[in-house]
Chain A
Amino acid sequence: MSDTPIIEVSHITKRFKGLTAVKDVSFTIKRGAITGMIGPNGAGKSTTFNMICGYYPPTEGKIFYDGKDITDKKAYDYTNMKVSRTFQIMKPLKNLSVLDNVVASAWFGHAAAKNERQAREKAMEVLQFTGLYEKRHVLSKDMGTPDQKRLEMARALATSPQLLFLDENMAGLNPAETEEAIKLIRRINESGVTIFLIEHIMQAVVSLCEEVIVLHHGEKIAVGTPDEVMNDPYVMEVYLGVKKEDADA
């Protein structure tokens, strides 16, 4: 059982009308590890991510979770399967306090709270874990980017996932804040949560990920440890632009 990858993506393709955003991508996510996905802007990272999270179905291909086909599952089914996600553009519940934001998700998921007290207790626990405890009575719209990013994670964690998807959770943070976020992500992983993340910040990817998948123009161009990937000639070419891309038109 534990040999099967937690997520197996098999030949998925997504076409929006004429545009092929993701073309025949396959990869697996190893249980218990932190796996990253990188690629230049417009490489199809978010599209791939949204397909795995059920926000839109792939045009072709299948997605397996724990060996079960979840291609057609709806986004709101995921927390019941112990899978949770964050958003690249933060979506805090603006007019609710930080605490209420997290209480709301503590009511849902596979280990959903049965009553208000349980929901609050669970929320408090998560807030302490993510370091938002002191700010629990602040309206979430009044917080800065780093805290809102943290809140995204707190909300996802309150559903007690075993697999967590992080969509550019460190974009817009300064180096010190990034360092904090990296520590938090590592702590989450050490508590037994498998993590799959999209990230632009190489420092984070290198220090966190066991395995990295590189997308470019909707295709998987490399996979391996951060070191292997960074030294891959094609990846270097894509990132540093050694040679003019033919497919740029």
Chain B
Amino acid sequence: MDKKKAVRDYHRNLAVTAGIILLIFIAIPIFVKSPYILNVFVLVFYMSTLSMAWNLLGGMTGQNSLGHAAYMGLGAYASCLLVVRTGINPWLSAVAGMVAVAVVAGVIFYPCFILRGPYFTLVSIAFGEAIRQFIINSEFFGRASGVGLPYGKDSWIDFRFGSKVPYYYVGLAMMILIYAFMKKIERSKIGYALKTIREDEDAAAAIGINPIKYKIMAVVISAMVAALVGFFYASYIRYIDPELMIQAKSTEAVLPAIVGGAAFVEGPIIGGLIMIPLSEFLRATYSAILPGINMLMYAVVLLVVIRFRPAGILGWYMNSRAKQFVDERILKKPSVEVIEEVEMAGGR
């Protein structure tokens, strides 16, 4: 009975902590009026979401993609062009964009998953560049000058606002939803299949996992989330051009996950919350003094993290005293055995 109570208390403490963090994020726009700071937060939200999409492949499945900017860009183009050319509702165009990108990703990556090894990474780089070149040279996609979304009155139906606050909330909601979705995947059959594939493909096949099938599923889901981010980005910036898909942008999608800890679903969010404000701060403060120094400092921070915390910030935290302290004093976490015992007893 005591054990049950301890576990219940622990879950309550967890929920309260999560609630407080959520409340802080909800409250920020009420107190922070600077559009610049809000912009940094919006950036954190969509880049973290993009990084979570990457992490499904890179962290969970062990397939390192360097083409996520291309999925994001394709999603942005698909939804923008639909809105501009056919005038459909932007929210519907988001769904259409996601489906289109899912189909493209599935068709292109099916053959390269038949091969094992680094081919996927290579193809993803080529894929991103090919899509970009294609768009630059296509009249239909607006060539290098890009596509602009119509401006107008603020409207939820058209997802169009002058202020940054609505984008802040939509971005936050998107990040939380995708986080919940990824967490769900992690604990499901698909999640276990992907993790098994990451660790060993032969072992995966031995227990009945078709590696190709699950890798395709991962790439399709990941591409769809990236396309959603692309839709959000386009609605926010209201203008897209092929620059969106350059290789550096794909790398930017990888960084929050690596810095935060690619083995964890939370990794991209933690990494995003740290790296994006840092990069924006460095740019705002130093780029006027000595152009390029912000990139240099960013690179140094990155090197330090990878050198000294290769498992990312969360990877370090999970084995640290800080976690012990938080678990024991704040969350009052019972031992793993106790939680297990109560959970297993609960359903019988």
Contact = CB atoms under 8 A, between A and B. Distances in A.
Interface of A: 53, 55, 74-80, 84-87, 91-96, 100, 103-105, 107-109, 112-113, 116-117, 119-121, 124, 137, 155-156, 158-159
Interface string B78-116: 000000000000000000000000000000000000000
Nearest to A78: B208
Given A103-B192, A107-B193, A84 B206 contact: yes
B336 A137 contact: yes
Contact of B206 (A75, A95, A96, A117): A75
Contacts of A158: 207
Interface centre among B202, B206, B344 (most CB of A within 10 A): B206
Interface centre among A75, A77, A80 (most CB of B within 10 A): A75
Q: Is the interface of B mostly helix, strand, loop or mixed?
A: helix
A187 to B, nearest CB: 21
B202 to A, nearest CB: 6
B187 A104 contact: no
A198 to B, nearest CB: 15
4 shortest A-B CB distances, which residue pairs? A79-B208, A108-B208, A93-B199, A105-B207
Interface in B255-307: 263
Interface residues of B, number: 23
Given A76-B211, A95-B263, A137-B336, A104 B196 contact: yes
B192 A76 contact: no
Contacts of B40: none
Nearest to B213: A76
Contacts of A109: 207-208
Given A93-B195, A107-B192, A159 B203 contact: no
B189 interface: yes
Contacts of A95: 199, 263
A76 B187 contact: no
A28 to B, nearest CB: 23
Interface of B: 187-189, 192-193, 195-196, 199-200, 202-211, 263, 336, 344, 347
A155 B344 contact: no
B207 A79 contact: yes
B211 A91 contact: no
Interface centre among B188, B193, B205, B211 (most CB of A within 10 A): B205
A87 B196 contact: no
A117 B196 CA distance: 19
Contact of B344 (A84, A93, A103, A124): A124
Nearest to B346: A117
A117 B348 CA distance: 10
A133 to B, nearest CB: 11
A72 B314 CA distance: 45
Given A84-B207, A108-B208, A109-B208, A91 B202 contact: yes
Nearest to B348: A121
Contacts of B188: 116
A38 B207 CA distance: 25
A108 B210 CA distance: 11
Given A75-B206, A76-B211, A137-B336, A104 B344 contact: no
Nearest to B211: A76
B203 A87 contact: yes
Contacts of B204: 76
A113 B205 CA distance: 17
Contacts of A117: 347
Given A76-B211, A95-B263, A96-B199, A85 B206 contact: yes
Contacts of B347: 117
B210 A76 contact: yes
A87 B203 CA distance: 8
9 contacts: A76-B208, A79-B206, A79-B207, A87-B206, A93-B195, A100-B192, A108-B208, A155-B206, A159-B207
B207 A104 contact: yes
